[in-house]
Structure 1
């Protein structure tokens, strides 16, 4: 007998770099995840119901049972074992559930009476047990299903980039949430006060497959963003109070005037930060707390908008440090003014004139304090950047970069053409440019349009500077910047930091013009001379890098109809190319779509504005706008790409380490205080872990959270794949005693990834599946059991381990 089961489908398998016991049983439906044709019973559907009153002329029990059996046998022919499932329902269904269950009850009754198949309501676990009991050998799939298409001109690779502003907001709030939860733990949860829970809920909802993907209607996207904003406001209070406590531990906190009022700047990306822009007096200075959520010390450049040019910057020890002032561009000012008015409902009243940049060093899971004070012009240590416009010279070139990294630019085209790193002797041709695809203006599935889901380009067009737009170069001791206005809606700033070995490309795109009646999809290209033989690598959810080969699928013979869209892949962390001698890596600040459509070239889609719906359920064109009163403009986005070229085999260290820094930027909080009083009475630097300890460079803390029970949830992740790096693709250990030096650990319980079951109990219930052939077992195994005395957690490449830790708070050590 065949069983028809109502449940949801599975997901692709785990990392190929993990042992076989991490494999999961999954499946795919023959056609989407709908019921078979003729078996949808929404109140206004056209599928004929069972009419079982034999006195009526349309009595059809036998006919409908035959239809049911035929559909079941058709699916059984492409399904292993004699157990199959039907998902009775799909998107936009069950608005009236009674009509569904009335028909399903009848079908189960009459199909059982017929006897050719057995129909029943079921559950995922019953179905899985039945499949397992069949003792079948199953194929092993280690790749993914991208790119997906539902017909020859409809590749669902557009949503990798759709709604780039929302994608960035989700990414930004995810990094903020990681830091906020850590600070909440250091302070201690307050069951009756503010918490990070609202932000957790908003981020969880935003992971829906029609949320961060960008495949929702505009009013729904606005609702997701509103929920994130509300959650942020709650978490912001947690961060402020936690930092007030941690910086004020020397104080008697009963005095209310001793508690600093820490402000944060969620619109810092558009150069809007009221506390940093305030005019500083001789009595008051700007206190900046920079919190690092990573488990290792980091050094990076902080940039904040300021209104004065006479400033000095002090570090945590009160020592004056080097700083640089960079004038705000007209593009930054226009973007800032419009969006502050749009999002806050008021004008950006402050008079920010510069970006103040200085290098900050911050300990692991801790903070450092920096002080910005006004100074007499003769005493100011902030160096104003040298600004110049390159002119034609004999070589038509100029160089940017104060440290190991140099970018060589051509004056006439305004592009860098050479990447030079003195430290590792890399000297490579590299060029960056922009194109756009004209979106196909179809109206239905036959004449397929480019839309929120589907990417269907209708021609490629280079974006060239409109007229003679000169480059502007800013140079100083911290960083160099090259500003390039390509047209009225595309502006770029390329930054080279003195102490970094990657180039940072910041783009401002929008409003994308659509006056010609065509939507446009904007891409950036990094062009190199690498011989890559159609091969490139993209990340899988920021974890494994998967090998991609243009116009090729390892599982089947590919008949490519859309050579551009059919070679696009999701990119969450980055993409890289390699040949015999070099590798080129590009990291991103949000999820985007990308590919290598030409050997030696990386392409990333950055922004989309389209005029037709792609008929996949949104019912609305992807034409985002931002409004100030009655004036609405197409969405403008600002984002960053990060480029680095290394000798082959050396790029993983940067991708993994800097990738964590992109995901978890320094959290900045500001307060205006009297400097001498502050420095003498407050803690100016703090680390939650043992001062002699830092996490291994191949391990990240991805969760550190106090649970409502008072226990602590800890997740640790190994960042490297097997064989990815000669130094870091190894089993490593984390010492819990040094991670929590001031607390007495009394119990460590390992959990499954979602932390709702103990791992040992899950392993006892795990089913052992037979696999076709003899697949090669990875050479690495998971880390061992945690010794209750040594308390060292082992992690193998790509492994994530989750623990619930209990402390004896009565024996917590004095700090």
Structure 2
């Protein structure tokens, strides 16, 4: 038996993010948690240099980068030598060890690309990670496995799966497998995957760190505390016990844990002795041989074993650590941070585009937001499983990154808006980041201002613009025409949100088309009276039954605000509702002393009973009708409301909810859900997305990978919903899209519920050490968000939900400016519309421009994705071609381009992954059909395929 020691820094800030990022680097606030990453690295490097047999692996580049920037050239050269020798190895290589449940695939790719770029630039090919190391996230996504495979990884190891799954896998030697990460892609998405024992810690009694209290190796037989015989036998027994769960004569022993190796010499000296004395027992018949190694070496040894492996096609969600500890609460925890992270990504992608198309060459100005986003993907960041002051720190970092990005946006618009170099200075652009609460103080009360909208997609869009105003305005379109507008009242729940300081009581609404990769500028000019271009609500009803309808849909509500039915007028079918609205589960108030007393907290969702309670026994409904939009405002009480909106010509229903402050005066924690109960016979099945991409079928109270015993019939059926969830029968499908990640389920046939907010009073004792009790402005946090409903036959649904989901995470960017000049003068001096496609033919509807990043003045990194699955749509699920040159017409001709792996750190034709065989006589061998040198700029994308290119211009 070969035992490979994997010395590692388990995870810089693992499950319990108790301190802010910089504290872990500098070892400050040790009253909260003792941890100093810089000292760990200092100590490890010294120990590696001392003995050439020793090894160490490192994962999260955010911390390493911070340490690296402070080192001398001599130290950097020493580290490079260790990397070249394979003694210090980077695995995974992301900026952080990202969560897998609530992260969006765009941000997962970005944060891994950020780390991969740094490693490539500093260490070359020897620094390129060869496998994924997700030892701490709370469940594992099939989409992440697929992405890792496309990044060129040969394997993936992690430590957390459901306790029932773990028991059954260990008993049947199924801890390692071939994970088929995509139901759409071929072998390029397959990834060897292993579950490591003990999460990532050392075997019991073998932790040799000052944070531990285990007995060291005492090898002087002249001393009374000599312990080598019993310590050696204990380790041999531990090795045999672990080997019982695995299929080859190789096992991997993880030797490290949270914040360890600050005194690496203590670890390594004890391990040196352990290796010496355990291997010496081979002369006495022992079959255990141990040595320093890395997970990559272990993986290669398994590959050389030349055996077949079981396969897996589903994912590892949800997981529970005991009978009543389902880690499903974090799917919703800190909903405001989850939304801010998604919003920040939107700004990051648009800023990259504007920087590139304007040739501003300010990539360094984008780095602060890119870096903040990378940290925010951590499994204790966007997951919401950190202390409150740490969550505040994440939000601050994102805000500072946005400020830096705004500088780049302004520099880009200086070039794109100016008609010539002699033009007047371009007015400064501002973001209205409180537009989610209908507040934009920059323009409030101004006599004139401009609104510039950038469309970041490669399709023509029709944007519905809502601007909070205190005056009535005439709006000039980019071509000079006066735009018809609608003045609609801002709802009282919105006006009363704590922290809102705007005096705006109306929003000016208008509809406008925007060309692909283009901006339009709209000039607002204040009027002292209503004009014929401004339309007011034509009718308002209160506490009466009402019907909202347009050309495609009809929504019927009764006088109590109950949603009775939705009718699809195009397809001539209806979906009756038996219940709809906001409800709450009672949080279990346990003391965590035993599984049956597990409390509901940041990680765990555990309701006291399966029953839900309406947030109010009565509702008030106000319906407002205009030519552009019809709305039904439903107010439950002072802390809960929703507003259903149906836009003219719209095929999607918008349901905006406001929840908070959740009352806790009754000393009861509450988990708030929005529930949609229909008569669709869904037969226990529902469907959720994986990180915003492929859909996975879920079955209530069932797991396809193991025999599942139900202990928690509510939280055990909750799944992460990063983008959408649906139920269906043969004729009807109801899809709900979310504007952030949320936990969701179908607890009964015909029903969908999404958890929108949580406020608990007990800690679940999983590491945060405080309840999930967010406050702001001296009271419980108020959260505002949106759901988008699509009701279509299953064969037509993909067309709507795929495109709508892309729009949700790649929204048009709106910036405001105060030009201090008349419209005539503004139109003379500045461009009011511009497109990067420069007259190109319309680009394919099913292709998305995922990344457009300028590396140097003539070199660009782009990612294109086909965002439809196989057989989803009769036309849009087919392979499609796109000419890369069409994206660069404003620059000139492409002279060279090469296809790269997903992280952009290796040419695709050099990506040679390990080949594995399954127990079904399948082979994981895959070679890109486009791996030969590309001669034409026309490329083909198949369903769910992402292609990355480095493009050089003339």
Equivalent of 1:429 in 573, 576, 596:
576
Cα deviation, 1:337-372, whole Å, max 9, x if unaligned, reads x325xxxxxxx3x53121111102111111122222
Whether 1:296 and 2:459 are equivalent positions in the alignment is: yes
Which position in structure 2 is the counterpart of 1:121? 292
Whether 1:410 and 2:558 are equivalent positions in the alignment is: yes
Moved more, 211-220 or 42-51: 42-51
Whether 1:748 and 2:897 are equivalent positions in the alignment is: yes
Offset of residue 426 of structure 1:
3.0
Report if the CA contact (8 A) 1:390-1:398 is conserved. no
Offset of residue 5 of structure 1:
3.0
Equivalent of 1:88 in 220, 232, 255:
255
Whether 1:98 and 2:265 are equivalent positions in the alignment is: yes
Report if the CA contact (8 A) 1:420-1:428 is conserved. yes
* Paired residues for 1:520-669 under 5 Å: 520-627=670-777, 632-669=778-815
Offset of residue 427 of structure 1:
1.9
Moved more, 533-542 or 609-618: 609-618
Residue 4 of structure 2 aligns to a residue in which SS?
strand
Cα deviation, 1:758-799, whole Å, max 9, x if unaligned, reads 111113xx1111111145999x99764587443112111111
* Paired residues for 1:352-367 under 5 Å: 352-367=504-519
Moved more, 111-120 or 166-175: 111-120
Cα deviation, 1:619-675, whole Å, max 9, x if unaligned, reads 221111113xxxx21111111000111012111111110101111111001123321
Runs of 4+ in 1 over 6 A off after TM superposition: 780-783
Moved more, 15-24 or 596-605: 15-24
Which position in structure 2 is the counterpart of 1:327? 489
Moved more, 73-82 or 193-202: 193-202
The whole-number CA distance in structure 2 between the counterparts of 1:97 and 1:356 is: 63
Offset of residue 400 of structure 1:
1.2
Which position in structure 2 is the counterpart of 1:734? 882
User: TM-score scaled by structure 2?
Assistant: 0.79
The whole-number CA distance in structure 2 between the counterparts of 1:748 and 1:288 is: 36
Whether 1:769 and 2:769 are equivalent positions in the alignment is: no
The whole-number CA distance in structure 2 between the counterparts of 1:713 and 1:70 is: 52
Equivalent of 1:689 in 822, 837, 852:
837
Distance 1:515 1:782, change over 3 A: farther
Distance 1:387 1:275, change over 3 A: farther
Whether 1:701 and 2:849 are equivalent positions in the alignment is: yes
Residue 155 of structure 1 aligns to a residue in which SS?
coil
Report if the CA contact (8 A) 2:900-2:906 is conserved. yes
The whole-number CA distance in structure 2 between the counterparts of 1:508 and 1:36 is: 49
Which position in structure 1 is the counterpart of 2:536? 384
The whole-number CA distance in structure 2 between the counterparts of 1:797 and 1:588 is: 23
Residue 149 of structure 1 aligns to a residue in which SS?
coil
Distance 1:455 1:96, change over 3 A: farther
Distance 1:499 1:240, change over 3 A: farther
Which position in structure 1 is the counterpart of 2:171? none
* Paired residues for 1:468-507 under 5 Å: 469-507=619-657
The whole-number CA distance in structure 2 between the counterparts of 1:194 and 1:209 is: 26
Distance 1:793 1:483, change over 3 A: same
The whole-number CA distance in structure 2 between the counterparts of 1:97 and 1:164 is: 39
Moved more, 423-432 or 519-528: 423-432
Residue 215 of structure 1 aligns to a residue in which SS?
coil
Q: CA RMSD in A?
A: 2.1
Report if the CA contact (8 A) 1:158-1:593 is conserved. yes
Cα deviation, 1:165-201, whole Å, max 9, x if unaligned, reads 111110000111111110011122445x961110000
* Paired residues for 1:15-34 under 5 Å: 15-34=182-201
Report if the CA contact (8 A) 1:583-1:649 is conserved. no
Whether 1:230 and 2:400 are equivalent positions in the alignment is: yes
Moved more, 174-183 or 429-438: 429-438
Which position in structure 2 is the counterpart of 1:724? 872
Residue 150 of structure 1 aligns to a residue in which SS?
coil
Q: Which has the higher helix share?
A: 2
Moved more, 463-472 or 169-178: 463-472
- Unaligned residue ranges in structure 2 (runs of 5+): 9-132, 136-155, 158-178
Residue 527 of structure 1 aligns to a residue in which SS?
strand
Which position in structure 2 is the counterpart of 1:518? 668
Report if the CA contact (8 A) 1:402-1:479 is conserved. no
Report if the CA contact (8 A) 1:311-1:381 is conserved. no
Moved more, 64-73 or 377-386: 377-386
Report if the CA contact (8 A) 2:537-2:625 is conserved. yes
Cα deviation, 1:580-606, whole Å, max 9, x if unaligned, reads 111110000001110111111111111
Report if the CA contact (8 A) 2:3-2:253 is conserved. no
Which position in structure 2 is the counterpart of 1:813? none
Cα deviation, 1:369-419, whole Å, max 9, x if unaligned, reads 222222352534211224523355xxxx321134422210111x2122111
Distance 1:199 1:75, change over 3 A: same
The whole-number CA distance in structure 2 between the counterparts of 1:781 and 1:313 is: 55
Report if the CA contact (8 A) 1:699-1:719 is conserved. yes
The whole-number CA distance in structure 2 between the counterparts of 1:82 and 1:464 is: 57
Moved more, 43-52 or 76-85: 43-52
Offset of residue 14 of structure 1:
2.1
The whole-number CA distance in structure 2 between the counterparts of 1:339 and 1:708 is: 42
The whole-number CA distance in structure 2 between the counterparts of 1:661 and 1:707 is: 26
Which position in structure 1 is the counterpart of 2:4? 4
Which position in structure 1 is the counterpart of 2:589? 441
Distance 1:559 1:577, change over 3 A: same
Distance 1:238 1:770, change over 3 A: same
How many residue pairs were aligned?
Answer: 777
Offset of residue 518 of structure 1:
2.1
Residue 808 of structure 2 aligns to a residue in which SS?
helix
Moved more, 604-613 or 5-14: 5-14
Cα deviation, 1:473-508, whole Å, max 9, x if unaligned, reads 221111112111111111111111112111111111
Which position in structure 2 is the counterpart of 1:795? 941
* Paired residues for 1:189-228 under 5 Å: 189-190=360-361, 195-228=365-398
Which position in structure 2 is the counterpart of 1:339? 499
Equivalent of 1:351 in 492, 503, 510:
503
Report if the CA contact (8 A) 2:898-2:934 is conserved. no
Offset of residue 459 of structure 1:
2.4
Residue 196 of structure 1 aligns to a residue in which SS?
helix
Report if the CA contact (8 A) 1:784-1:794 is conserved. no
The whole-number CA distance in structure 1 between the counterparts of 2:530 and 2:688 is: 51
The whole-number CA distance in structure 1 between the counterparts of 2:759 and 2:794 is: 37
Residue 644 of structure 1 aligns to a residue in which SS?
strand
Residue 109 of structure 1 aligns to a residue in which SS?
helix
Moved more, 696-705 or 398-407: 398-407
Cα deviation, 1:413-433, whole Å, max 9, x if unaligned, reads 212211122223232213522
* Paired residues for 1:168-187 under 5 Å: 168-187=339-358
Cα deviation, 1:232-274, whole Å, max 9, x if unaligned, reads 00001111221232121x2324x5x332221111111111112
Report if the CA contact (8 A) 1:434-1:462 is conserved. no
Offset of residue 467 of structure 1:
6.6
Which position in structure 1 is the counterpart of 2:527? 375
Distance 1:417 1:91, change over 3 A: farther
Residue 275 of structure 1 aligns to a residue in which SS?
coil
Cα deviation, 1:650-708, whole Å, max 9, x if unaligned, reads 11111110101111111001123321112233222221114232331111111100114
User: TM-score scaled by structure 1?
Assistant: 0.92
Distance 1:304 1:782, change over 3 A: farther
Whether 1:759 and 2:908 are equivalent positions in the alignment is: yes
Residue 226 of structure 1 aligns to a residue in which SS?
helix
Distance 1:378 1:438, change over 3 A: closer
